[in-house]
Homo-oligomer: A and B are copies of this chain.
Amino acid sequence: MKLGALNEQALLKKLTGAWETGSDVLTGVGDDCAVLRTPQPDRFLLFKTDAVVEGVHFTRRTPARLIGRKALARALSDIAAMGGKPRFAVVTVGAPRSEEVRRLKEAYRGLEILARRWKTDLVGGETVKARDLFFSVALIGETKGHRPVLRSSARAGDELWVTGTLGATQRRKHLLFEPRLREGEWLARNRLASAMMDVSDGLGADLPRLASASKLAFEVDPERLPGARGTTLRQMLQDGEDYELLIAVPPGKADVLRRRWPFSCKITRIGKLVKQAAQKRDHALWRGYDHFSQR
């Protein structure tokens, strides 16, 4: 069987399904980051790797600074989704011999500026020959004083909220987005999120993942979805690369969230999580969005 016959989730399951981990691993494959215990009970390490490849995540014409920026920003977004702070990053670049040194330097510059903004120390670099240009970033983050917020810890009845707007990739948001690190950490520190993830493949793909990790189903009111100006419902669900936070909020805490939310980016209630048995009754809304269908 060729790779092309599988989607990424199915492939990952085939490749990593048998992995077992020791007691220092709170969460491994399947969440935004791996979560690792430390000797201090209130401190956790977050560990994430992410790669961007020419022709997939950017093109020859993408400004080089934005390529480097994106390589780091994607991994930062995953740290945000756990409510963590980024700490240390290492960068591998693969490039052909014909690549311009200036283009690589520009890409690194974009990465450095974002790293400085988010107080992330760049502590290692490696270069390898490759036919396609790629950047692979590995990131260590941490939470101190609170536990990371997983995908799997939502409960039936929790409200679903989302930051910012959805479906805006056409406006280069995928290159220019600001990872929701402050928002994610605030939500985690104030224990307002029972589960959280970042929306990187589109709400239509990611919401079912959060629900399924928590063994729940969902109900969403499409009228409430915070679309970027001029986006259709389909774009909001399927564009991908929103890099917003999808948050499960216990119903008793929604009022606090609404009143105390201190950030300029908006946050919108879009629906709720329900028991899996409950959902089958009301599935019609999501028909037509194939990868939205639930098991």
Query: Contact residues of A with B, CB < 8 Å?
Result: 1-6, 8, 11-12, 14-16, 18-19, 21-22, 24-25, 28-29, 33-34, 36, 38-40, 43, 45, 47-53, 55-57, 87-88, 90-102, 104-105, 108, 112, 119, 121-132, 134, 136, 138, 140
Contacts and interface: CB of A to CB of B under 8 A. Distances in A.
Contacts of A34: 88, 90, 123-124
Contacts of A22: 119, 121
A125 B16 contact: yes
Contacts of A108: 15-16
A199 B55 CA distance: 35
A263 B161 CA distance: 58
Contact of A12 (B88, B90, B97, B125): B125
13 contacts: A3-B100, A5-B101, A15-B125, A19-B125, A28-B121, A34-B90, A36-B88, A39-B43, A47-B90, A53-B128, A53-B129, A53-B130, A90-B138
Closest 5 CB pairs of A and B: A138-B138, A4-B97, A34-B123, A28-B123, A136-B136
Nearest to A34: B123
B15 A90 contact: no
A123 B100 CA distance: 35
A112 to B, nearest CB: 7
A234 to B, nearest CB: 23
Contact of A19 (B92, B105, B112): B112
Contacts of A94: 51, 53, 134
